[in-house]
Amino acid sequence: MSHNAIRFGRMPRSEKAKLKAEILTCEHDIEDSEMADLKSLAKRIYEAYLKNFNMNKVKARVILAGKASNNPTFSVAPVSAPGRQPYTLPPAQPGTILPSSCS
């Protein structure tokens, strides 16, 4: 190669092909290691989820239907009377209208 070719960053095709191949293999190695890290992280999250969250379809349906317990779902304290005990509302059923005293 001439002095100017080296000066302006030109190189033989074979050397350029070798460098490109080396770069591509290094990138694949990095991607593979990152993918392995992500897979192990996902596996750990899934295992922790299974360990700490014991829910199935039957339990979810019972909770969503509002029949999980006799305790009310939530309670409301009127803003106008801060010293009074809060009254409780039953779980709302679709299509029901609250009485005017609760609004």
**What domain range is 46 assigned to?**
11-71
Q: Is residue 47 part of a domain?
A: yes
The answer, yes or no, to whether residue 103 has pLDDT greater than 50, is: no
What would the pLDDT profile of 29-38 be if each residue is shown by its tens digit? 777 788 888 8
What would the pLDDT profile of 2-32 be if each residue is shown by its tens digit? 667 666 777 788 888 888 888 888 777 777 7
**Is residue 72 a contact partner of residue 91, using CB atoms and an 8 Å limit?**
yes
E strands, the chain, in order: 74-76, 87-89
CA distance 83 to 88: 15
Q: Is residue 67 part of a domain?
A: yes
Q: Is residue 57 part of a domain?
A: yes
Q: Please tell me the pTM assigned to this model.
A: 0.33
What would the pLDDT profile of 41-100 be if each residue is shown by its tens digit? 999 998 988 888 877 888 888 878 776 566 655 556 556 655 555 555 566 666 656 555
Q: Is residue 37 part of a domain?
A: yes
